[in-house]
Amino acid sequence: MGGNFLSAEDRFEEIKNNSDILSAIKEVAKVNKVECNPSDDMTLGEIAKKLKVDINDLLLIVNEKNGTGKEFKKAYPALDIESSSSSSAPAWLQENEIVDLDVRESLSKGVDPFGMIMNTIKNLNGKVLHIINTFETAPLYSVLGKQGFEHYAKEENGIWHIYFYKK
């Protein structure tokens, strides 16, 4: 591992037993409609190419899932995706129907909500996705941004409200 976090040179064999990382890789492959069955000797950089995602996006995701997201963001602050938290919400938030998705219970049971989130966005049809979480889901900004989604996030009393909308 590159320091205390995963890097592009790390091999799949180092992370293959982390079910959260595996499910995230499978979900990204599914969303991008690609096959990805990494061999032990493949690097994360090679896996990113196979998944057709930017290596930095994959590193943000796998380090979050590995519990090393803070160390990664500290080492590469330019790659840290800024929260769009601001004082005023975008117009699309007031103009469209909202679909709530509270992922806190899933997380408390040790279930990664990434698949649930990706399935929900498939059926939005012009609605706004509202994710309720105990932390900001910054890696999703890039993943969904590449699919044309805008986001808005705000934190209230330790609860994050993250909204995604596809124009």
Chain segment 108-151, per-residue pLDDT in tens: 898 889 889 999 999 899 999 999 998 887 778 888 888 899 99
Based on the domain organization, do 71 and 130 belong to the same domain?
no
Number of structural domains found in the chain? 2
**CATH of residue 153:** 3.30.110.40
Rounded CA gap, 134 and 89, in Å?
20
**Residue 32 has which token pair?**
């991008």
Domain membership of residue 132 (yes or no) is: yes
When pLDDT is averaged across residues 88-109 and rounded to a whole number, the result is 90
pLDDT at 74 over 70: yes
Q: pLDDT class for 83, splitting at 50, 70, 90?
A: very low
pLDDT at 2 over 60: no
128, 70: one domain? no
Q: Which helix (H) or strand (E) holds 132?
A: strand 128-133
Distances (CA, A) of 15 to 45, 62, 67, 140, 167: 13, 9, 12, 20, 36
- pLDDT classification of 78: cutoffs 50, 70, 90: low
Which pLDDT does position 89 carry in this prediction?
A: 84
Residue 84 has pLDDT above 90, yes or no: no
